Amino acid sequence: MSLCWNHRYIIVLDDVWSRHHWNRILNELTIKSRGSRIILTSCNHEVASCFVNAPRYLHKLDGLSWKDARNLFCKNAFRSNGGECPPALEEWAEKIVKKCEGLPLALKTVGSLLSNRSQMPVAWKKVHDSIGTDLDITRSLLPGYNDLRTRPDLKSCFFYLGIFPQDYSIQREILIRLWITEGFVKEKKNRSLEDGAWENLNALVDRNLVSVSKRDVDGRIRSIRVLNFVREFIISKAEEESFFWVFTGERSAIGKSARRLSLIADLPNDFQFQNENLSKARSAFFFRESNFDSFLRPLNLLRVLDMKNAHIDSFPVVILGLLLLRYLSLQRTRIPKIPNSIKKLSLLETLDLKKTLITKLPNDIFRLHHLCNLLVSHYDSHKGATVKEEKGVEIGDGVGDLTNIEKLSLIKVNSNIVEELGKLVHVKKLGIMGLKQKHGKKFCEALQKMHDLSVLDVRSEGMDVLDSENIPEKPVFEFLQRLYLKGRLSKLPIWVSSLHSLIKIHLEWSRMDASPLEALQDLPNLLELQMVDSYTGDCLEFRAGTFGKLRLLVIEQFCQLKAILVLERAMPQLHTLKIIKCESMRILPIGIECLSCLEELILHGVNEELKNKVRHEEPLAIQHIKVIKT
- Cβ(249)–Cβ(225) below 8 Å: no
- Cβ(499)–Cβ(471) below 8 Å: no
Supply the mean pLDDT for the chain: 85
Please, which residues bridge with residue 412 across strands? 433
pLDDT band at 385 (very low <50, low <70, confident <90, very high): very low
Better-scored residue on pLDDT, 407 or 120: 407
- Give phi and psi for 88, each to the nearest 5: -65, -20
Lowest mean pLDDT among 65-74, 119-128, 161-170, 544-553: 119-128
pLDDT value at 30 more than 80 = no
Residue 305 DSSP SS3: strand
Q: Mind listing the pLDDT tens digit for each residue in 263-315?
A: 887 666 656 555 556 778 899 998 876 667 777 888 889 999 999 988 888 99
Please tell me which of 96-110, 366-380, 487-501 the model is most confident about, judged by mean pLDDT.
366-380
Those residues whose C-beta lies under 8 Å from the C-beta of residue 163, and which sit 6 or more positions away, are: 244, 246, 260, 262, 283, 285
Please, which residues bridge with residue 305 across strands? 284, 328
pLDDT value at 334 more than 80 = yes
Please, which residues bridge with residue 221 across strands? 215
Please, which residues bridge with residue 564 across strands? 540
pLDDT band at 6 (very low <50, low <70, confident <90, very high): low
Q: Where in the chain is the domain with CATH 1.10.10.10?
A: 143-231
**Sequence-ordered alpha helix ranges (H) in 536-601:** none
CA 420 from centre of chain = 31
Better-scored residue on pLDDT, 406 or 143: 406
pLDDT value at 224 more than 80 = yes
pLDDT at 85: 87
Dump strand ranges (E) for 369-508: 373-378, 407-412, 429-433, 455-459, 482-486, 504-508
pLDDT at 233: 86
Going 558 to 559 to 560 to 561, the CA torsion angle's sign is: positive
pLDDT value at 418 more than 60 = yes
Once rounded to an integer, what is the mean pLDDT over residues 458-466?
74
Quick check: pTM over 0.85?
no
143-231 CATH fold? Arc Repressor Mutant, subunit A (1.10.10)
pLDDT at 384: 46
pLDDT band at 387 (very low <50, low <70, confident <90, very high): very low
Lowest mean pLDDT among 114-123, 361-370, 513-522: 114-123
Residue 623 has, within 13 A of its CA and on its CB side, a CA count of: 6
- What is the percent of the chain where pLDDT is above 70? 84
Length of the chain measured in residues: 630
Better-scored residue on pLDDT, 330 or 93: 330
Those residues whose C-beta lies under 8 Å from the C-beta of residue 598, and which sit 6 or more positions away, are: 574, 575, 576, 577, 592, 624, 625
- What is the percent of the chain where pLDDT is above 90? 46
Once rounded to an integer, what is the mean pLDDT over residues 411-440?
91
pLDDT at 383: 47
Rounded Cα gap, residues 104 and 97, in angstroms:
10
pLDDT at 534: 94
CA proximity to 161, closest of 64, 78, 226: 226
pLDDT at 373: 97
Residue 342, classified by CB atoms within 10 Å of its CB into exposed (0-12), middle (13-18) or buried (19+), is buried
Lowest mean pLDDT among 102-116, 252-266, 388-402, 426-440: 252-266
For the chain, the maximum distance between any two Cα atoms, rounded to a whole number of angstroms, is 81
Measured torsion, CA atoms of residues 520, 523, 525, 530, in degrees rounded to the nearest 10: 0
CA proximity to 488, closest of 459, 467, 509: 509
Going 501 to 504 to 508 to 513, the CA torsion angle's sign is: positive
pLDDT at 335: 94
Q: Mind listing the pLDDT tens digit for each residue in 493-506?
A: 888 888 999 999 99
CA proximity to 481, closest of 534, 532, 527: 527
pLDDT at 118: 76
